[in-house]
Amino acid sequence: MTSRSQEPTYLTMTTPEASHPEFNLEYAAAPESTPPVPIEEENRLYINGEWVAPNNGEWFTTYNPATAQALARVAQGSEVDIDRAVLAATNAAAEWAAWPGSERAKVLFRVARVLAERAREFAVLETMDGGKPIKESRDFDLPQASAHFFYYAGWADKLVYAFGGQKHQPRGVVAQIIPWNFPLLMAAWKLAPALATGNTVVLKPAETTSLSALALVRVLEEAGVPPGVVNVVTGPGETGAALVNHPGVQKIAFTGSTAVGKEIQRATAARPVGLTLELGGKAANIVFEDAALDQAVEGVINGIFFNQGHVCSAGSRLLVQESIADHFIERLKARMATLRVGDPLDKNTDIGAINSPQQLEKIKTLVAAGVTEGADLYQSEVSLPTEGWFYPPSIFTNVALSHRVAQEEIFGPVLSILTFRTAEEAIEKANNTAYGLSAGVWTEKGSRILWMADRLRAGVVWANTFNRFDPTSPFGGVKESGFGREGGRAGLAPYVQLGAMWGES
């Protein structure tokens, strides 16, 4: 007999049929464990390949948005630190630019590989510092970050083919200021093309999410990026301002709010400095009556609730054809009921924590304004965690174009729903915004997709999908969403001087 017959005792597991007439699967808390993630108590500045304390001795605290607990202290870079960083980048520039492209490629390929290998560790860190659900940092941020390095590594020794045979030179010292919504991925978007083209960099991460950029620096070091080629100065907006105003900088790449983007443009007026801005958005997701409705519901959900709506390209305005509006909104509500809001480290979590109390306040203020202005607010019934900064998935119906919630970027899980009757009206409403970053069109009619794409004033138009990114595809805005492109071959252009001498712009 087998050992099984000697132990006929495991008889207690199932419940009899009658006891669960209505069965309901419950999802387990499946949190990623945090111990393998090294978070240092004190995070210094990275200048010229060294970890240095801030000149003025000031530090600030970074928090875990899901718990509101302090995670670590981060150095607050001052003007002096920025000056040192720019000097280091300047000194490293000539040698790095002289590296054969194939050697720079090797380094970047290594970065891509290490990021992929250490993806779990980085994903947990990103989620702890930023609040996004682990399933997004694991399945989106990390693979995309790695893919960006991989993609631009491929260009590093083929730049001559990128610009139609024109002579090209790196710009020199590049200032890069990145936002808090995709901290690591935005660092990758900025660093990969800059390094592939032979520039040196001073990177300023967002104040609330500095840790993954600092962790990335260790990977760059390990991969063989020489000292001074990448420098990271952490700090608040003033640190960024000092970097922008530094005369040693030849190019500025900024991703963030439109208000700050405008300040930067003012500050750089009449200076020989290249500038690209990737700013806010108020994207329209346009659903026609002939669309694949279930997938459109999914796309609208993903469009606005991805990363708690902290996405500059978020589909924060739904334009739905009036003939299907009631039905579609009911479906949206039903789908919202299945969204799980909570611990971002839990693999079952769909919507994580709001990045900061300031952002939470901003969302609350704008939602209150929407209610005051007469739009109807619907929030799915979710029990939010008692600690940390959370906001429930929300939609506004009966929104008018004149409402603030139809015009202002909320940057949270709040969708404003408007209706339209004809394609012309959809275009008019979609374009009736100061922004122009992205848009989505949902229809089964191919010719209508092309007709719409021709008329939408947006840098990116997605057809029957939303928030889909790829390193090979240029991304950027028009109007107050900024200018310049990141990703693809177009993403190389801002980082080179074509057929010109150094310093010219």
Partner 1 sequence: MSLAAYEAHLPSLSGRVRAVTPVDEVGLVERAASFATRSIKAESKAAALDLVVRCIDLTTLEGTDTPQKVRALCAKALQGDPFLSRVPPVAAVCVYPALVGVAATELAGSTVKVASVAGSFPAGLGPLSVRLEEIRLAVAEGADEIDIVLNRAAFLAGDYGRAFDEIVAAKEAAESAHLKVILETGELGSYDQIRRASMLAMSAGADFIKTSTGKIGTSATPPTALCMAEAIRDHAEVSGEMIGLKLAGGIRSAKAAWQYLVLIQETLGAAWLDPNYLRFGASSLLNDVLMQMARQASGRYQRPTDFSAD
Q: Does the annotation count 58 as an active-site position?
A: no
Closest CA to 482 of 430, 428, 438, 429: 438
Pair of tokens at residue 430: 């979609």
Cα–Cα dist 494/503, whole Å: 14
DSSP annotation string for 201-217:
EEEE--TT--HHHHHHH
Q: Nearest 10 degrees: CA dihedral of 157, 160, 164, 166? A: 150
Q: Kindly state the smallest distance separating residue 444's Cβ from partner 1, in Å.
A: 5
Smallest distance, Å, CB 450 to partner 1?
Answer: 17
Task: State which residue, 218 or 335, has the beta carbon closest to partner 1.
Answer: 335
Q: Which position among 32, 312, 408, 480 bears the catalytic label? A: 312
Is 278 one of the annotated active-site residues of the chain?
yes
Question: Which of 413, 396, 455 is CA-nearest to residue 430?
Answer: 455
Q: 3 or 386, CB closer to partner 1?
A: 3
Closer by beta carbon to partner 1, 102 or else 323: 323
Using the minimum distance from each CB to partner 1, give the nearer residue, 8 or 164. Answer: 8
Nearest to 191 by CA among 182, 179, 200: 200
By beta-carbon proximity to partner 1, the closer residue of 18 and 270 is 18
Smaller CB separation from partner 1, 15 or 383: 15
CA distance 200 to 89: 5
Q: Which residues bind partner 1 (CB under 8 A)?
A: 2, 4-5, 7-8, 10-17, 20-28, 30, 135, 139, 289-296, 298-299, 323-324, 326-327, 330, 338, 347-348, 444, 464-465
At 306, list the tokens: 């991805």
End-to-end CA distance of the chain: 85
For helices 258-267 and 237-244, give the axis angle rounded to 10 degrees. 30
Written as six digits, the tokens of 208 are 């609330």
Other residues' Cβ atoms within 10 Å of the Cβ of residue 18: 6
Closest contact distance (angstroms) between CB of 387 and partner 1 is: 22
Pairing of strands 414-420, 394-397: parallel
Provide the β-strand partners of residue 351.
341
Query: Strand 317-321 and strand 376-379: pairing?
Result: unpaired
Q: How far is the CB of 24 from partner 1 (least distance, A)?
A: 4
d(CA 106, CA 206): 29
**Which is the catalytic residue, given 32, 126, 278, 408?**
278
Q: Which amino acids are annotated catalytic?
A: 278, 312
